[in-house]
A and B are shown apart, each in its own frame.
Chain A
């Protein structure tokens, strides 16, 4: 029963987005280019040098593609959690809490932003190109990694989005702070983590487990030992990390909702 209500809500939200057609089309184009713009930056960099952080162009493009696909999928499914500060400020969250549906589910389905499909399309296109051209020596295990890495990455990013935006329960209008974690880790994971100093790497690649989105799966696919000397099993750890991240995000979210008292005087 509740499921059907939800389906109807989602369907109506999707229809409402198609109302301004030109704007919608431009939005999709913007998302297509937006996710690809970092690729342009990478390609420009490689017109000047032949390796970055010990990796050549095709290897960096592979990491970028894994990160972009994962981020696109996460953005499509949970990107709406970004609107949490608005819900809190306007008091709309009170309404959501009263309804007999999960609070987080309601927020996430409030605006299944169809335009965000653009990001996934760009990510997948570059990923297909990278899988085909980066000279991966395919084995059954690597096929499995290639298939699961974008999904695990999406789950990790999704958990990071939810956990980071929960900060809004504590900080008024914490969206910018959350952005520095969500978009920051998206940017960070598009490059080999060898380019960052130890501090930045600890925060944006391990505390926020961005390294498991693209860097470790890429090493597994390329069959390269880790230049940083991390153990081999970490290259196959993304599913485990994804599960842990979801657990962590759920705890943080619950703590946030419990703490919520409304903004009224």
Chain B
């Protein structure tokens, strides 16, 4: 209350006049270099622009591309639903495993710094490198992981993961889990560390067992952080490109053709940029909706997340 009053009296360090020059460079940079290209993309989505076909020279066609995409493009919709399944499966597994690991570390390990740092290695590597590393490890003839999968009988001698269509998506999900579970662990661990002690002590006095305490106290207290983790992972998983592109290129057939792979093909293989921009715009819309939920749910309502 005190600070608000001072602020209104203008004695505070920042007044309106001082704010503007501080805020302007960042806002301008983002406006020019991100919103600019984005606007160009949005406009392109309403044209027939193609770098391949000389007959499509960028004429304005309104919402034709969107109509085509929604009504007439089974490949887009297959990719869309595949992407949704990928996001749900990988984020669920990452969350379950990540939560369990965080709990184990919180409950049993006192000196956590080295352990958590080492756990972070997979997610800190360049995405290009991650794709190549797994290509080498899972190669069917000389891949180290392929060899041990066969040795322990998880993979038959006469098969290989990326040549067995029904194993391809589970494998890609497993690699995503390898890469991103530590992210969940780290953040949930931070949440666990910041839990207040009092509610648990009171519950113990009331005779509530560990399971009840977990369900009734811990989960509700962690809810904002859980929502945050799920949404951040969800947004990233929705955009997944590098690993799948290097590992399978969307195949065999179309079993791993995620939306981003489809967008790549339309833009960079077929150079059908008007339509490619339409695909991109739809992806952006979906992520925007996810993001808005994230912002409302986490930043405005939660005591932990409030900044």
Q: Do A and B bind each other?
A: no
Question: Footprint of A on B, CB under 8 Å?
Answer: none
